[in-house]
Structure 1
Amino acid sequence: MTMEVNRPEIVAQVAAAFEAYERALVDNDVETMNALFWDAPETVRYGIAEIQHGGDAILRWRETCVPVPRSRRLHRTVVTTFGGDYATVSTEFTSDTTPLTGRQMQTWARLHEANDMFGGWTIVAAHVSLIEPV
């Protein structure tokens, strides 16, 4: 059996969910950010200077974290889908608050128990880091 990679309608769904997450991130819309992360013990988020294991840890961290700068800009975003239920989104970002280049990767899954606000698409793992510009 061959898995379909990057079916256009699935790429569009994941891209829309990712764009909603990015808007929420820049607007510091904690409710939407929380709705887009899987609230389960298996969820992992590796941040720039912190680590959260589990949905509860991510929710607690969001209550006190510093919002991202409004000057945040994305570069070279790549959405890759696998079948109709799994995807990755990789992007780079910059802002006027640091000379470093940010990198962000998210693993998305369409989960039946997830909030239908975004077609069931939910972030199940994420990693954010900063590096010197290349």
Structure 2
Amino acid sequence: MVVDDPETLAQVTAVFHAYETALLENDAATLDAMFLHSDATVRYGVAEIQYGIEEIRRFRSVQSPFTRTLSRTLITTYGHDLAIASTLFRRDDFPGQVGRQMQTWIRTADGWKVAAAHVSMIEDAAGAI
């Protein structure tokens, strides 16, 4: 298996950044298109859990735009059809905390899609992370 094939890594990096733009703009249609439309798609959020694309859509429909800064973003590809994106983030509305986000991206006939995502927050003791 090829890890971090340059072409695959460039594709996933671009779609990851497009996802971040859509997230911060609260572009629900673009975010919906970036998730795998399946009952098997799972998203664990900071304070919520969604199983399946319909629950994810309901969650997205009531969200508001926000701002955040990313750090320590690491995207690793495995073969040509699977990638894991991991990043830390900070939000002004969550002072003293650091967020963690992981996404599993898979290549489909319609392009790269998030098949699983996890977002959580923890205390950032003295900015150690």
Q: TM-score category by the smaller chain?
A: over 0.9
- Partner of 2:20, secondary structure, is helix
Give structure 1 stretches of 5+ with no counterpart. 115-119
The match for 2:15 is 17
Shift of 1:65: 2.5
Q: Report Cα offsets for 1:32-83 as digits up to 9, x if no partner.
A: 111000110000000000000001110111111343x22x000000000001
Q: 2:84 aligns with which of 88, 105, 109?
A: 88
Matches within 5 A, 1:1-134: 3-67=1-65, 69-70=66-67, 72-99=68-95, 100-112=97-109, 114=110, 120-133=111-124, 134=128
Quick one: distance in 2 between partners of 1:28 and 1:64? Answer: 10
Aligned amino acid, residue 28 of structure 1: N
Query: Normalized against structure 2, the TM-score is what?
Result: 0.93
Which consecutive aligned stretches of 4+ in structure 1 deviate over 2 angstroms post-superposition?
Answer: none
State percent identity of aligned pairs.
Answer: 52
- Partner of 1:98, secondary structure, is coil
Query: Normalized against structure 1, the TM-score is what?
Result: 0.90
Give structure 2 stretches of 5+ with no counterpart. none
Quick one: distance in 1 between partners of 2:60 and 2:16? Answer: 18
